């Protein structure tokens, strides 16, 4: 009696096991046999799903980025969130994923470097994996402008500016170790805050109650004196 095999589930298992191995041993150190042993299946079984190790690696990356897409879609479907809130949540999700997969990012960098040395079009491969994210950020920036939360501007250029922060963080994680996770999040928050539409203070308000208000939040002033004044104003209101 033949055993029924869920091929989609097995394919996913192979990719998840391969992802772990690539992070542990690097691209060069992983073989079909090691992947098979980690999965608990025969080496020949893997050939039924993937033609070579390069294809496994590419699809392992896709498996990871697809997880972002699934969670991002859930955020996008939230009707109780503004476009800015959605943007912030998705960016934090991405930063967490990058932080949690630091070793795999290094392996990916080594892989892309070797491909470039062999004359492959690395830009095309990278663009195919990042186009969806850039499109999503551009859409959210445009929505934030339509909701009068962001100042008017070029959504694509603004999204590219935010994306550059993520690229800098990836470079830090894999090469320089110059930017920590909290610093990256603070840089993103500062960038988003700078884009917000700020209302003009009401001249009839007491001086210590004046603050630039934003549709979804109040930017807390930097100095301790201003923070105290704002807190006092809230208590009196």
Query: Could you report the per-residue pLDDT of 29-61, keeping only the tens digit for each?
Result: 899 999 999 999 998 889 999 988 889 988 888
Kindly state the tokens that stand for 235: 């208590």
The CATH H-level superfamily of 82-197 is: Tetracycline Repressor, domain 2 (1.10.357.10)
Alpha carbons 63 and 94: distance in angstroms, whole number: 14
From the number of C-beta atoms within 10 Å of its C-beta (0-12, 13-18, 19+), residue 18 rates as: buried
Q: Say which residues have a Cβ less than 8 Å from residue 224's Cβ, sequence separation at least 6.
A: none
Residue spans of the domains in the chain: they are 7-66, 82-197, 207-236
pLDDT at 103: 81
Helix (H, G, I), strand (E, B) or coil at 196: strand
| Of 145, 148, 173, 169, nearest in space to 157 by CA | 145
Place 69 in a pLDDT band, splitting at 50, 70 and 90.
confident
Whole-model pTM: value is: 0.71
For 105-158, what is each residue's pLDDT tens digit? Answer: 888 887 777 777 777 776 776 666 677 888 999 999 999 999 999 999 999 999
Please tell me the CATH code under which domain 7-66 is placed.
1.10.10.60
What is the pLDDT of the chain when averaged over all its residues? 81
Q: Residue 211 and residue 228: Cα distance in Å, rounded?
A: 12
Query: Residue 207 has what pLDDT?
Result: 45
């Amino acid at each position: 009696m033949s055993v029924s095999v869920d091929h989609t589930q097995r394919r996913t298992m192979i990719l998840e096991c391969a992802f772990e191995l690539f992070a542990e041993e690097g691209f060069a150190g992983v073989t079909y046999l090691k992947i098979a042993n980690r999965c608990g299946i025969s080496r020949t079984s893997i050939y039924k799903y993937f033609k070579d190790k390069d294809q496994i690696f590419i699809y392992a990356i896709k498996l990871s980025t697809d997880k972002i897409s699934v969670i991002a879609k859930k955020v996008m479907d939230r009707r109780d969130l503004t476009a800015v809130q959605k943007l912030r949540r998705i960016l934090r999700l991405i930063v967490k994923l990058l932080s949690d997969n630091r070793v795999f990012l290094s392996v990916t960098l080594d892989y892309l470097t070797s491909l470039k040395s062999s004359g492959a079009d690395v830009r095309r491969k990278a663009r195919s994996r990042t186009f969806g994210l850039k499109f999503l950020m551009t859409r959210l920036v445009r929505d934030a402008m339509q909701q009068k939360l962001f100042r008017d501007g070029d959504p694509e250029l603004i999204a590219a500016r935010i994306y550059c922060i993520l690229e800098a963080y990836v470079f830090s994680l894999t090469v320089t170790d110059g930017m920590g996770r909290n610093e990256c999040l603070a840089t993103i928050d500062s960038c988003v805050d700078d884009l917000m539409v700020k209302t003009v203070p009401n001249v009839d308000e007491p001086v210590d109650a004046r603050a630039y208000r934003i549709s979804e939040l109040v930017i807390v002033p930097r100095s301790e004196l201003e923070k105290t004044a704002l807190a006092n104003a809230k208590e009196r209101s």
